[in-house]
Amino acid sequence: MDKADPTILSLVREQFPMITESVLQEAIAKVAQVRTFKAGEIIMDFGNYIRMVPMVVKGSIKVVREDDNSEREIFLYFLGAGDTCSMSFSCCMMNKRSDIRTTAEDDATVIGIPIKYVDEWMMKYPSWKNFIMSSYDSRMQELVRTIDSIAFSNMDERLLAYLNKKSEAQNSKLIQTTHQDIAHDLNASREAVSRLLKALEQKGKIQLGRNKIQLL
């Protein structure tokens, strides 16, 4: 029988405190793989079958969905260290193609869990089930906030909420991004985003730099 990888075992214990059973920690360390992605690299793309479920160890990952009609991308949420993507669980357990794309916002490290174990561990380990359900709950709340923002918030409020989410995912008040990238995520024009960013700077909310934004 394969031995537990000590590096993965250490990462699981440090980054995923909800996974409490030592036997489950060791099971993950036996079957999982550590994968690294450069900033901007696509981790999972639309239409692909999901073979491994990611548990984020380092960095941040952006999750977007493609509009069925217009083929535009709709920003859903960010994942940071200690998170996993609940939508990838749904796809792998139903054996369906992915309807989301995940992209590394900055250099990221993930623990990849082969999908054959995802459902099996739900029945076997209570802390795994709790971890999955907690992930579903967190992502659902993120989606509700995103929907509320689109439906009820002004564009400047949406923009500031987006920047705060990005900052939280990256664990940094300094955000490396472009006005065009923000516009793409928010389905807005670059000119509108630039104008609103300047207004936020004048209000003392942010400080603008070249391809960077400092939250104040």
Decide: helix, strand or coil at residue 51: coil
Mean pLDDT for the stretch of residues 94-116: 89
Quote the DSSP letter at residue 37.
E
Mean pLDDT for the stretch of residues 61-87: 83
pLDDT on residue 188: 85
Q: What is the pLDDT of residues 139-188, one digit of tens each?
A: 888 878 777 777 667 888 889 999 998 898 888 999 999 999 999 888 88
Q: Which of these CATH numbers, 1.10.10.10, 3.40.50.2020, 2.40.50.140, 3.30.70.20, describes 154-215?
A: 1.10.10.10
First CA to last CA distance, the chain: 52
pLDDT on residue 48: 86
Least confident of 6-10, 76-80, 142-146: 142-146
Q: pLDDT band at 34, cuts 50/70/90?
A: very high
CB 212 within 8 A of CB 168: no
In terms of pLDDT, which residue wins out, 86 or 151?
86
pLDDT on residue 66: 78
Amino acid letter for position 41 = E
For a pLDDT cut of 70, what percent of the chain falls above it?
97
pLDDT on residue 71: 67
The answer on pLDDT for 73 being more than 60 is yes
pLDDT on residue 35: 95
Residue bearing tokens 């300094």: 174
Spans of all domains in the chain: 34-149, 154-215
Which fold is adopted by the domain 34-149?
Jelly Rolls (2.60.120)
pLDDT on residue 103: 94
pLDDT on residue 6: 93
Question: Which regions of the chain does DSSP assign to beta strands (E)?
Answer: 33-37, 42-44, 52-58, 61-66, 73-79, 100-104, 108-114, 174-176, 206-209, 212-215
**Matching fold, domains 34-149 and 154-215:** no
Q: pLDDT band at 68, cuts 50/70/90?
A: low
